[in-house]
């Protein structure tokens, strides 16, 4: 384990809370609809908002001088100051008990639930688990999202080209993750992480093969892909985990297994991959 990481110190952040409010505007709903290429009409004021739009809300807005080199807010504050340079959204387990509505004030109550340091193939890893509770002033509590953030060094991971190719889904859709798409999603989520839009930084500083496709963007595309496969019905539970990285240089393929129905509920397995590449993100959608 990296001796420079004081695990006990970082675990002092466990239990820390942050409460942030935001407004789910019609303009945000329209831009989200356009960026994700959702079918149907744009949600208007008072309408149910698309699921996972909460990723675009209540994001930290700090001054330019308070940003780190990577474009994220500098370490410390609500999240622990993990002394590892790479930070990625690794996974989420999400439960929907209702829907946000366009035009309402949204509050996110976040709690640091755990901090764990491990040794992996790519070096020392630090996993920070954060529980988010998302409420609307009219809708009440509608989303519970347990998020895992992983921090690691700049050591290169084992080449993904050596991993087995992802299986082919029963249903597939291809998305071209152009720099424009990545930039627009970064803007929607107020995500300044330079790996998504600054190609020289992504390749020369962090050592990636190209611009990195956001994990939450992949998750959002997969959730709405699942909804289209179930007559437009968005899932009530949705989980995802990142396995490898996708870049802007190649098409991203959305895969879905067979929709399994049991009583009034059902489930479907989903994943992303580049053509003939390994699984990048695994996800499961459940209807209750």
pLDDT in the model for residue 156: 55
Within 13 Å of residue 15, how many CA atoms lie on the same side as its CB?
2
Give, for 29, the enclosing helix (H) or strand (E). helix 26-36
User: Which two structure tokens, joined as six digits, stand for 192?
Assistant: 């300044």
pLDDT in the model for residue 264: 72
> Cα–Cα distance between 113 and 14 in angstroms, integer?
6
Determine the topology of domain 160-288 in CATH.
Answer: Thiol Ester Dehydrase; Chain A (3.10.129)
pLDDT in the model for residue 153: 84
User: Which two structure tokens, joined as six digits, stand for 96?
Assistant: 């929907």
Find the distance separating the first CA and the last CA of the chain, reported in whole Å: 42
Query: Where does CATH 3.10.129.10 sit in the chain?
Result: 1-157, 160-288
Contact 110, 128 (CB under 8 A): no
> Cα–Cα distance between 143 and 63 in angstroms, integer?
29
Q: With 0-12 CB in 10 A as exposed, 13-18 as middle and 19+ as buried, what is 215? A: buried
Tens digits of pLDDT across the chain (288 residues): 444 789 999 999 999 999 999 999 999 999 999 999 999 999 999 999 999 999 999 998 889 888 888 888 877 788 999 998 888 899 999 999 999 999 999 999 999 999 999 986 768 999 999 999 999 999 999 999 999 999 988 765 444 446 799 999 999 999 999 999 999 999 999 999 999 999 999 999 988 999 999 999 999 999 999 999 999 999 999 999 999 999 999 999 999 999 888 667 899 999 999 999 999 999 999 999
Which CATH number fits the domain 1-157, given the four candidates 3.10.20.600, 3.90.226.10, 3.10.129.10, 3.90.1150.10?
Answer: 3.10.129.10
User: Which two structure tokens, joined as six digits, stand for 187?
Assistant: 């803007």
pTM of the model: 0.93
User: Which two structure tokens, joined as six digits, stand for 7?
Assistant: 């695990």
> Cα–Cα distance between 204 and 199 in angstroms, integer?
8
């Amino acid at each position: 384990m990296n001796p420079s990481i004081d695990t006990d110190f970082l675990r002092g952040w466990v239990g820390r809370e942050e409460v942030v409010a935001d407004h789910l505007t019609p303009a945000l709903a329209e831009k989200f609809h356009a960026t994700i290429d959702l079918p149907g009409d744009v949600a208007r004021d008072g309408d149910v908002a698309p699921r996972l739009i909460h990723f675009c809300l209540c994001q930290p807005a700090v001054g330019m001088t308070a940003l780190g080199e990577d474009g994220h807010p500098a370490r410390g504050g609500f999240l622990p100051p993990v002394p590892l340079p790479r930070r990625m959204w690794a996974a989420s387990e999400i439960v929907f008990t209702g829907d946000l509505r366009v035009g309402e004030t949204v509050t996110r109550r976040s709690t640091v639930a755990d901090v764990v340091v491990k040794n992996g193939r790519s070096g020392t890893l630090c996993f920070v688990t954060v529980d988010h509770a998302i409420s609307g002033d009219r809708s009440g509590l509608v989303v519970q999202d347990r998020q895992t953030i992983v921090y690691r060094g700049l050591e290169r991971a084992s080449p993904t080209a050596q991993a087995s190719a992802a299986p082919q889904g029963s249903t597939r859709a291809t998305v071209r993750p152009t720099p424009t798409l990545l930039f627009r999603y970064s803007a929607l989520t107020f995500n300044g992480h330079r790996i998504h839009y600054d190609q020289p930084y992504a390749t020369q500083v962090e050592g990636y093969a190209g611009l990195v496709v956001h994990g939450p963007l992949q998750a959002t595309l997969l959730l709405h892909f699942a909804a289209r496969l179930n007559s437009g019905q968005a899932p009530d539970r949705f989980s995802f985990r990142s396995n490898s990285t996708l870049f802007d240089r190649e098409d991203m393929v959305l895969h879905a297994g067979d929709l399994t129905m049991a009583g009034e509920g059902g489930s479907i397995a989903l994943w992303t991959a580049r053509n003939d590449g390994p699984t990048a993100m695994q996800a499961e959608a459940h209807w209750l």
